[in-house]
Amino acid sequence: MKNLLGSSVKDLENVALDYGQAAFRGRQIYNWIYNYRNKNKSIDQIEVLPLDFRKKLINDGFKLSDLSVQERNLANDGTLKLLLSTNDNESIECVGIPTEKRLTACLSSQVGCPMDCKFCATGKEGLKRSLKASEILDQILFIENEMNRKVTNIVFMGMGEPLLNIDELLVSIRSINEDFQISQRKITVSTVAVPKMIKKLSAKSFQILSNCQFTLAISLHASNQKIREKIIPSAKNYKIENIIEDCKQYVRDTGRRVSFEYLMLSGINDKLEHANELSNLLRGFQCHVNLIQYNQIDEVEFKRVSLKNIQLFQSRLSNNGIAVSFRKSRGLDKNAACGQLRQNARKNNIV
């Protein structure tokens, strides 16, 4: 099957020409696909196209979507979490996080995840497969259609490890930038960090995108190697000092600062001595720390840190000269932790 989602306007003009149609027919398909107000996701419903052209495209296996909505969860704060089914009967999650001025789409890059982070529900069932670029992009359209708003910001922070699907990731970023008209500077790629892949990410970004302007966010979650290995088993293959050195090189190569995600876990990484240790680790290069409030998962023993202790931790980092912010969790009343919606669906035999 040939999914047209992710095709450039030139690609679609060529499709039209191949079928003996004028090039503007390709532009009509392009405008239909990327207009969030068009909620119909099948070629036969692109009514601006001649009926015989639509039939030929369908008969030849062209389509607009690989996904379907399986479950919707709308939190009291307006956060929308979708469980989407794939053509091979797998399921993935995506999230729409609205504010007055923006709509952020949190996207998955894989079905499941191989990293097995101890605080995350996604890794409990391992990796099934990586997503195609069209499946990544389709998540944006579903969020836009469901929320009737245009997505303004993108975070690859859903299910999966983006750097283990790097080619499809970058192809999707190209389309997000050029077709969805979302600046690279409003795109964040979050990674646990995989050996040799940070350097590969910057090199392939220049190769595929001609530049590298998106934000790299490292899910660090620890101030030293011992703690990191405790909560992220794969960390034993990539020393924390080596991650920092690779991030410094990334800053030199791209000119973009690196963000470090730090999930606050009570009694694990939340002491002021950890804040001092983290400060010493990160001091001296262009970076930012994003403290995150933990979403409780029943199957995991980790506990949430009090707001008071998070604020003390944040103040210590700031006093030590580290740029830091605190992100409160959204959608807490609706299975907010990544992987929970999918996991609950499996428990209830929905998937």
Q: How far apart are CA 57 and CA 260, in angstroms?
A: 45
Please name the amino acid found at residue 22.
A
Whose tokens are 């399921």? That residue is 91
On whether the CB atoms of residues 84 and 111 are closer than 8 A, the answer is: no
One DSSP character per residue, 17-54 reads HHTT--HHHHHHHHHHHT-TT----SGGG-TTS-HHHH
For 135, other C-beta atoms within 10 Å of its C-beta total 27
Please name the amino acid found at residue 315.
S
Contacts of 116 (CB under 8 A, 6+ apart): 123, 126, 232, 233, 234
Please name the amino acid found at residue 204.
K
Q: Which residues are catalytic?
A: 93, 338
Q: How far apart are CA 142 and CA 96, in angstroms?
A: 9
Whose tokens are 């969805």? That residue is 180
Q: Which among 195, 272, 199 is positioned nearest to 239, based on CA atoms?
A: 195
For 184, other C-beta atoms within 10 Å of its C-beta total 18
On whether the CB atoms of residues 124 and 172 are closer than 8 A, the answer is: no
